[in-house]
Amino acid sequence: MRLRHTGVAALAASTLVLAACGGDDDGDTGGSAGSGTINFYTDKGAWEPQFLQVSDVSEGSIGLGLDFTGYSDAEQYSAFIRQSFRTDEKPDLFTWHTGSELEDLVAEDLLAPTTDIWQTAIDDGDVPEALREHFTVDGEQYCVPMNAAYWVMYYNKAVFDQYGLTEPTSWAELMTIADTLKANGVTPFYETNILFSFVWFQTLLAGTDPDLYNALSSGEASYTDEGVVAVMEQWRDMLEAGYFGDPGDQTAPQDQLKSGTVAMINFGTFLSGQLNSVDMVSGTDYDFFVIPNVNPDLPQTSLIFETGPMCTAKDAANEESALEYAQWWMTEEAQTAWSNARGDVSFNPKAQVNDEQLAALNEQAGADDHLLLERYFEATPTPVLTAALDGFSAFVTNPGDPMPILETIQAEADAYWSSQG
């Protein structure tokens, strides 16, 4: 297997779970991959060891491995991928985003369709039917799921045990836990003003009014609507009450939880792998729970999920092999290797997830009493998301009147949706 080592894993390690990022910034495609290898580009370069573990499995299984190139800067990565389509060095496989960014590439006829791959995977029970819609544009499927993750509340078990705390079953109980921790000088929740500043907005709105949450993503509701304003005011009250850690702290989330700097982290299940990497043991040193709804009268518990696509460029040098790899990636064999290499859940319900807590969550997420909602980052059109991230970052740094921030975001939303005809 021919590998290109980017040399950025160490550089990106401290910010991996913040930016889900990676590393080679020179923009060189290095030419077409050789026999048995596929050029693979990603903005998750610090995940290189995990991708290469799975590449070893695929080499033995289907005779195809990955020639890995990772980026540490998401904007540089996006610019490189878009530029590559104008050259003869189109990426065989590359990671991207669902939502408007996927639709943009399809509109320009830049992606190889994967409809047949999806149908086979669904027929074989390798992927839930419900996931297909997030990869569908104008009735055709494009790309395959690179990963899946659910957003839950991680907690330091030693801290919880010290104060006699147990996993909450309601929002009121969660707030009581926060008050108990704060009264004992422990910061309840992690917060950041870098990239993932949207997380608590997502949690509060989805847990209060999931219909409004979905309506924002489709332009059917306004950021200045009463329900959105109320959520921002609730968030401000929590910030001003001292429930959150320093949003400017650059210490990695996993290190903050391990040290007890914060007792809880609202994060995607990919955090499990990072906690394991700092010698925290699942079920012993840390655990997690599905965050209860803010509104106790909702019929289902809102559970945020995310999935990132692995795409094949149309007319790439190794398009046929890349699509073969994509089809294999959906299988139980591939997803068992991937989920355990990453320390995360899998979209494939047949994958054998070693972590008992993650395996249980996989089952829980499929139950009828949970409502799966797409992560805000993917559900929100890019121009609107950019304004929202800027606004939320400022808000968590200096809480105040949320209305100017919401009006700025809505102005971007108005411009975006009016341009869509």
Q: What is the DSSP letter of 356?
A: H
d(CA 342, CA 335): 10
pLDDT band at 325 (very low <50, low <70, confident <90, very high): very high
State the Cα angle at 314 between 313 and 316, rounded to 5°. Answer: 65
Residues 6+ apart with CB under 8 A from 204: 231, 234, 235, 294
Instruction: Establish how many alpha carbons lie within 13 A of residue 20's alpha carbon, considering only the half-sphere containing its beta carbon.
Output: 20
d(CA 306, CA 198): 14
Per-residue model confidence (pLDDT) at position 256: 98
pLDDT single digits (tens) 236-245:
999 999 999 9
All structural domains of the chain with their residue ranges: 9-147+307-354, 150-304+371-377
Per-residue model confidence (pLDDT) at position 74: 85
pLDDT single digits (tens) 343-387:
899 999 899 999 999 999 988 887 889 999 999 999 999 899 999
Average pLDDT over residues 69-86: 93
pLDDT single digits (tens) 115-129:
999 999 999 999 988
* CATH of 150-304+371-377 among 3.40.109.10, 3.40.190.10, 3.40.50.720, 3.30.70.980: 3.40.190.10
Question: With 70 as the cut, is the pLDDT of residue 303 above it?
Answer: yes
Q: Give the long-range contacts of residues 316-319, CB within 8 A, separation 24 or more.
A: 316/39, 316/90, 316/91, 316/92, 316/112, 317/32, 317/33, 317/39, 317/89, 317/90, 317/92, 318/32, 318/33, 318/38, 318/39, 318/92, 319/92, 319/112
pLDDT band at 99 (very low <50, low <70, confident <90, very high): confident
Task: Find where tokens 């992927």 sit.
Answer: 127
Asked: is 9-147+307-354 a CATH 3.40.190.10 domain? The reply is yes
Residues 6+ apart with CB under 8 A from 132: 118, 122, 141
d(CA 202, CA 185): 27
Per-residue model confidence (pLDDT) at position 365: 85
Domains 9-147+307-354 and 150-304+371-377 share a fold: yes
pTM of the model: 0.83
Residues 6+ apart with CB under 8 A from 156: 257, 258, 260, 263, 264, 285, 286
Question: With 70 as the cut, is the pLDDT of residue 231 above it?
Answer: yes
CA distances to 323, 348, 381, 414 from 110, rounded to whole Å, are 14, 27, 19, 28
pLDDT single digits (tens) 276-289:
999 999 999 999 99
